[in-house]
Amino acid sequence: MRVTSNNGNFDFEIKDLNPKTVKKVIIAVVAIIAVIIIGSQAFYSVKEQEAAVLITFGNAEPVTDPGLHFKIPFVQQVEKVDTTIQSFTIGYDAETDVSIEEESLMITSDYNFINVDFFVEYQVNDPVKALYASSDPSAILKNMAQSCIRTVIGQSEVDSVLTTGKGEIQAAIREMLTTRLAEHDLGIHLVNITMQDAEPPTAAVMEAFKAVETAKQGKETALNNANKYQNEKLPEAEAKVDQIRQQAEAQKAERIKEAEGQVARFNAMYEEYVKYPDITRQRMFYEAMEELLPHLEVIIDDGSGNTQKLLPLGSFSQMGGTTNE
């Protein structure tokens, strides 16, 4: 047989070959091709940021070590899973940054509407379950995250969501979502969930919240002024308290001395009363009259020129004395 090229540059002649030889050549070529195909199906590689699942007659086993691995061609199948940290957004489109109201609009415990955006990060921790425990673990995680977010936001007041309570809200959502993921065992775990933004849904409501914040700042200013006034007046008040206490102590001491003097006077009068009861009783009567009528003078004249002065009284030691005028 003679073969000639179209442009006439070469030509050669194949002599008649033995049919057995041709058959052997064909078998060898087929065998080589088969070996190449089988060899390409017998090995697979696992990268650093992925895991493989080796399936043998329906039995799945994870392969997490990176590198080249062997499998039985046409008997074992390999599925690969990305083990890097993956993410999705709730409440807005990550590419266009446009709000998705059906995801972001929520109601708080004090019946206020608010738009809240979240960023969720997760990672595969069990490649077998990630492939076969559910049809779409990422979608299930997103639904669970939305449920947990609405539950926690629904238990929080709007001021807390907008201002100081974001950290506590994130922690509560993370704990709830982690628990639910463990219950469903989807082969993925939560890395982090972050509240991106929180704002009222309309301009009018935003203005109202700004007014609330202004009022809070006014409250803080008033409290600071009140504390300043307290710090200024408290020392003065404490000084007055000390002065009043000292005056009270002085009055107490004076009253005690006065009482002690009255007791001593009473005891002296009682001693005289015991000695001379009638005379002392009469003198006490005259003293009472003298106190009631301080300008009264009582002098008794018996008609013979002898007079006796009764009021005002002399000293206590001269009780019963007489004078002649």
Print pLDDT tens along the chain (325 aa): 444 545 555 454 445 556 777 676 777 777 777 666 666 566 788 888 898 888 888 788 888 888 787 777 777 888 889 999 999 999 999 888 888 988 998 989 988 888 999 999 999 999 999 999 888 999 999 999 999 999 999 999 988 898 888 899 999 999 999 999 999 999 999 999 999 888 887 766 667 767 777 888 888 889 998 888 888 888 888 888 889 999 999 999 999 998 888 888 888 878 877 888 888 787 777 777 777 766 666 666 666 766 666 556 555 444 444 444 3
Residue 109 backbone phi and psi in degrees, to 5? -65, -25
**Residue 16, Cα to own-chain centre: how many angstroms?**
94
Same domain, 191 and 97: yes
Segments forming the whole domain that contains residue 196: 86-201
Same domain, 60 and 102: no
Same domain, 162 and 139: yes
The structural domain count of the chain equals 4
**Distance between CA atoms of 54 and 131, rounded to whole angstroms?**
12
Last residue of a domain, one of 174, 201, 228: 201
Same domain, 230 and 190: no
**Distance between CA atoms of 20 and 117, rounded to whole angstroms?**
76
Same domain, 214 and 301: no
Residue whose token pair is 């202004």 = 214
Last residue of a domain, one of 63, 82, 101: 82
CA-nearest of 93, 99, 97, 96 to 114 is 99
Same domain, 45 and 66: yes
**Distance between CA atoms of 244 and 266, rounded to whole angstroms?**
32
Task: Tell me the three-class secondary structure of 108-175, residue by residue.
Answer: CCCCCEEEEEEEEEEEECCHHHHHHCCCCHHHHHHHHHHHHHHHHHHCCCHHHHHCCCHHHHHHHHHH
Q: How many residues does the chain have?
A: 325
Same domain, 95 and 193: yes
Last residue of a domain, one of 240, 258, 275: 275
pTM over cut 0.75: no
Q: Which residues contact 205 (CB under 8 A, 6 or more apart)?
A: 112, 113
Same domain, 268 and 163: no
**Distance between CA atoms of 99 and 106, rounded to whole angstroms?**
13
Same domain, 232 and 295: no
